[in-house]
Chain A
Amino acid sequence: MIGVTPFFLFAILFLLLPTGILIVGAFQDSQTGAFTLANFGDLLQPSILSAFRISIYVSATSALGGALLGFALAYAAVLGKLPGWIRPTLTTFSGVASQFAGVPLAFAFISTLGRLGLVTLLLRDLLGFNLYATGFNLLTFWGLTLTYLYFQIPLMVLVVTPALDGLRKEWREAAQILGASPLQYWRWVAGPILWPSVMGATLLLFANAFGAIATAYALTGSSLNIITILLYAQIRGDVLHNANLGFAIAVGMIAITAASNLLYIWLRARSERWLK
């Protein structure tokens, strides 16, 4: 038992207790310390609700988009009959790009799609197309979603490739021999096998985007009202004038990512039955 004691001690001190103290604090009144549910009631004020809502929208949109495009890329590399070098190149690059998040990613997109970015200037000078006149702005919901896709797509590629590998060639051949059309093959064979891993990966992407702050903060400063930026401002300067309301926000975030992850674990357990 003594061998695993340091690990559990560490986990308690730096993971469980810090989270626990927030959860307990969320149920306490900031003045008296008496137990209350009022902090959760206060979450319903418009600015906090809207921050949660925008965070959920950005995370869900970038997760769905990332899942769709990442799946297409992984599918092309694994089953698309492409030259052999494509797949290892894609995997290596996905490893890099999925870690290339945070502040530098924001800089990269400002240099590309900002008001003076390369693509913005090229569109203006070569095609006479003023991107920013269309209402596009990098510092908004769609700009943030587009930026998040840069690490979401590669993460999807990494997570979903093993599932595509598990799709045996024999199954397709068997379906063909039995006279199935490609549509029928997807509807009755590949789809049911793949969907739990694809859904699960999408949920992982959701949690990944939901907890992110550095990219959004470097991109928009505090102008975009997402929940991580609101919590950051609260920690920095008690902008809500109620410390325990901050705890309730934190607990709300945990509840959302936990729900998403529980669903992921359940789906993964389902998908692993087929992929052994």
Chain B
Amino acid sequence: MKESRFGSWLAIVLGASYFLIPLIGTFEFSLRMKRGEYSFEAYRVVFSDPNFQASFLFSTVMAVVTVVLGILLVVPTAYWVQLRLPKLRPLVEFVTLLPLVIPAIVIVFGYLRLYNSSSFLPLTNSSFGTNVLLACGYATLALPYMYRSVESGMRSIDVRTLTEAAESLGAGWPTILFRIILPNIRSALLSGAFLTFAIVIGEFTFASLLNRPAFGPYLQLVGANRAYEPAALAIIAFFVTWACMGLIQIVGRARGDSARR
């Protein structure tokens, strides 16, 4: 039995080294900007770059818009499927899984054909229109994650009883949806939201091909032209992802507690 535990430890130690060494390497590299000493110079340069601030802000706003759009699309759908239209469940599930099958670059290629300046809906004509298109694209990319998380949240509460109780007290469907159902699946919504945020914030393909000044294309540009700043940016990006995942763990734990109560 000792032997099998040795094998497990070996796997964990090797796995941990594979994951930690690139992080350590990146961090060490990011400190090397000043010759002969370790400093946070690369971080200072990155944070004071107006393009960093602008692109990070742009992507943050896009991420928030995407989260709101995703919630507005997914919550009513999951609710109606659960309550009234269970027959549609396989179809809805199939559609929400499609973005995992169709590569993102193919989807955005289609957008450029469908919504170009000579099309029936020339969204790419103005920067506002392109931003709308980008948000819709991000909502599409996030659909599999958002839907799964909301759906599992709704399965864990008694949607039917809640709806009937609210109806008998005279509530209309917007009240039921936004004041009864939404607060009850708050933690599922939040984990979907943070995952969406993590996906959108560094996304490259959509933003680059739609020519939007987002964080992903900015990262790529810095990577092609600078030496030490990219390492600092990678560490920053890792911490943003880490923060999102940490928040998912926290809200997930909160959900576990309330279920036990």
Contacts and interface: CB of A to CB of B under 8 A. Distances in A.
18 contacts: A15-B140, A19-B110, A80-B11, A100-B237, A100-B238, A104-B202, A104-B233, A104-B237, A107-B231, A107-B234, A108-B25, A108-B231, A111-B231, A150-B22, A213-B104, A217-B204, A218-B224, A254-B102
A104 B202 CA distance: 8
Interface in B180-227: 195, 198-199, 202-205, 209, 216, 219-220, 223-224
Nearest to B98: A15
4 closest A-B pairs by CB: A18-B110, A80-B8, A211-B103, A112-B25
Contacts of B9: 76, 80, 82
A96 B28 contact: no
Interface in A101-147: 102-113, 116-119
Contacts of A236: 209
A107 B136 contact: no
B82 to A, nearest CB: 11
Contacts of A247: 109
B103 A218 contact: no
Interface stretch (A6-14, A183-191, A194-202): A6-14
A217 B221 CA distance: 11
A240 interface: no
Nearest to A9: B73
A236 to B, nearest CB: 7
Contacts of A20: 110
A211 B216 CA distance: 17
Contacts of B209: 232, 235-236
A107 B22 CA distance: 10
Contacts of B202: 102-104, 214
Given A92-B246, A103-B216, 15 more contacts: A4-B76, A6-B72, A6-B77, A7-B92, A22-B106, A76-B8, A99-B241, A102-B203, A107-B219, A108-B25, A112-B22, A119-B21, A214-B202, A214-B216, A235-B108
Contacts of B248: 95
A211 B26 CA distance: 25
A235 B109 contact: yes
A75 B23 CA distance: 24
A107 B230 contact: yes
A37 to B, nearest CB: 20
A72 B111 CA distance: 41
B102 A19 contact: yes
Identify whether the interface residues of B are mostly helix, strand, loop, or mixed: helix
B76 A22 contact: no
B66 interface: no
A2 to B, nearest CB: 9
Interface string B235-261: 001100110111011000000000000
Contact of A77 (B12, B30, B173): B12
Given A19-B106, A80-B5, A153 B73 contact: no
Interface in B67-104: 72-74, 76-77, 79-81, 84-85, 88, 92, 95, 97-104
A111 B107 contact: no
B25 A118 contact: yes
A21 B139 CA distance: 20
B136 A13 contact: yes
A105 to B, nearest CB: 8
A164 B181 CA distance: 34
B4 A81 contact: yes
Contacts of B249: 92, 95
A10 B146 CA distance: 15
A228 interface: yes
B245 A111 contact: no
Contacts of B219: 102-104, 107, 218
A250 interface: yes
A231 interface: yes
Contact of A218 (B5, B109, B173, B223): B223
Chain A CB within 10 Å — which of B15, B92, B114 has the most?
Answer: B15
Interface in A1-58: 1, 3-4, 6-8, 10-11, 13-15, 17-22, 25
